Amino acid sequence: VYSGNFLSQVEVSTFDMTRVMLGINPQNFSYCLSEGESFQSPEVVMAYSEDGLNGLSQVYHRFFKNRLMHSKYKNQERPILLNNWEATFFDFNEEKILHIAKKAKEVGAELFVLDDGWFGKRNDDYRGLGDWDANLEKLPQGIAGLSKKVEALGLKFGLWFEVEMVNMDSDLYRTHPDWMIATPGRFPSHARHQHVLDYSRKEVVDYIYGKMAKILRESSISYIKWDMNRPLTDVFSKSLAPDQQGEVFHRYVLGLYHLYDRLTTAFPSILFESCASGGGRFDPGLLYYAPQTWTSDDTDAVERLKIQYGTSLVYPLSMGAHVSIVPNHQTNRITPLTTRGNVAYFGVFGYELDLAELTQAEKEIVKEQIGFYKKERSLIHQGNFYRLRSPFDSNQVVWSVVSQNRSRVILAQYKLLNEVNRAYDRVYLQGLKADALYEVDGKQYSGAELMLAGFSLSDTSCGQPLDQEKLSCDFDSHIWVFEEVK
């Protein structure tokens, strides 16, 4: 339960005794203690299940949701959002943002999120990080004015921050160059043209808290997307003695927790989303403060199958999952809008595109997707998640969510590449009532049948008559909802 460098180590002795050790990674770590001082090491959560990896995952999911997450949102329905990033990147003004927000309201979204580019001279990723004051050329009435206009449309308003970072081309760096983590006498390593602020220093954390709190007090903000687009390198603090440099990373994590604690205490009604995208940070320590996490900027639906499948091994389906533009801006892959939605359902659902650029038929699909998610999101987030077929060793991915009382099931199937004359296919469901009857698409099956004889996934690529259903294709997907017959 820690957001810093850690080590998981397993050793087997010559006597076949296995020893498991988990904790802070010893590389470049040391901590000087004076007489009377103490050091608290991170906690570790270890779980056991006799029901395989799915059972083990469900233990972690329940524990994190019910015992670890501190936010009031831990078991609440999460709002469906639209984020403007892939619609505008840095090129926007208030008029464009409000137009996108209006379109989001029309299709049934509940939250609009303003992403990077609203502050300082942030018109590209070379400058501006650290200058957390609204760019009045883009937003004449600042965040306070924009947030109130978005709320007047009937939407909640969310805001993007990346407050652990700084650009050298910023007023903050020019004023406090010593606040940047860097090794003296060496060229500082940047990533995405940005560097990391020294959160081991109390004055840095106090400054960032003051800037964020001012915006949050003045504005109508319901959600914060807390980005982290690079890891820590050149870890050295100018405020600590040479023999204390091994403490910097750990002190940084404590400073980060302190900032989160102050913000979540002062603004308990705000939903915080943390980020693992660039810094690789996704851990139970941050789940305490931020009950959902942005796992990756890779929003391609096919790529997300592996990302979400792997994440679910330990973490509940509280990862941000967005339907984005095509061709995808990272992979250039074109996937069906239906499949993009079917993948994103199994997370905190949202959109990251300009709805105005969709056809009317696509907008109708978006409305249907939002309607489906609103109806099923409680089941998706409160049910038991089962991984049934892995994207790492199959051309298909299959998973399901079963309600706690086992009366409703959502089954999802995703095909990567289409095949010719493939074998007839069945999937064996898990977690059902063996003696119950379940209905789907007008047909009834017993729970025992679905678990032991399986459910057919065969489609037209299996030699089915072509007039029975739509033709299968690359990146195809299907969702079934099973309801217990009372």
pLDDT in tens, 54-108: 999 999 999 999 999 999 999 899 999 999 999 999 999 999 999 999 999 999 9
Q: Is residue 177 helix, strand or coil?
A: helix
Proportion of the chain above pLDDT 90, given as a percent: 93
Q: Residue 469's pLDDT is what? A: 61
Q: Residue 465's pLDDT is what? A: 58
Task: Using the predicted structure, report yes or no on whether residue 131 has a pLDDT greater than 80.
Answer: yes
Q: Residue 463's pLDDT is what? A: 74
476-478-484 Cα angle (round to 5) = 170
What is 220-248 written as a DSSP string? Answer: ---EEEE---S---S---TTS-GGGGGGH
Cα–Cα distance, 431 to 417 (Å, whole number) = 29
Which segments within 72-177 are labelled E, that is strand?
Answer: 81-83, 111-114, 156-161, 165-166
Residues with Cβ within 8 Å of 270's Cβ and at least 6 positions away in sequence, in order, are 216, 221, 222, 223, 224, 263, 264
Cα–Cα distance, 104 to 106 (Å, whole number) = 5
Judging by beta carbons within 10 Å of its beta carbon (0-12, 13-18, 19+), is residue 77 exposed, middle or buried?
A: middle
Rounded mean pLDDT, 258-277: 96
Cα–Cα distance, 173 to 329 (Å, whole number) = 31
Cα–Cα distance, 447 to 437 (Å, whole number) = 6
Task: Using the predicted structure, report yes or no on whether residue 233 has a pLDDT greater than 90.
Answer: yes
Please name the residue ranges forming H helices in 345-471.
Answer: 360-382, 447-448
pTM equals 0.95
Rounded mean pLDDT, 373-399: 97
pLDDT band of 339, cuts 50, 70, 90: very high
When the pLDDT of each residue in the chain is averaged and rounded to a whole number, the result is: 95
Backbone angle region of 94, left / alpha / beta, with phi > 0 → left and psi within -120 to 50 → alpha: alpha
Task: Using the predicted structure, report yes or no on whether residue 468 has a pLDDT greater than 80.
Answer: no
Q: Residue 472's pLDDT is what? A: 86
Contact assessment for residue 41 and residue 24, using Cβ atoms and an 8 Å cutoff: yes
Rounded mean pLDDT, 34-39: 95
pLDDT in tens, 301-310: 999 999 999 9
Q: Residue 464's pLDDT is what? A: 61
pLDDT in tens, 187-198: 999 999 999 999
pLDDT in tens, 61-71: 999 999 999 99
Q: Known catalytic residues?
A: 227, 297
Q: Residue 467's pLDDT is what? A: 56
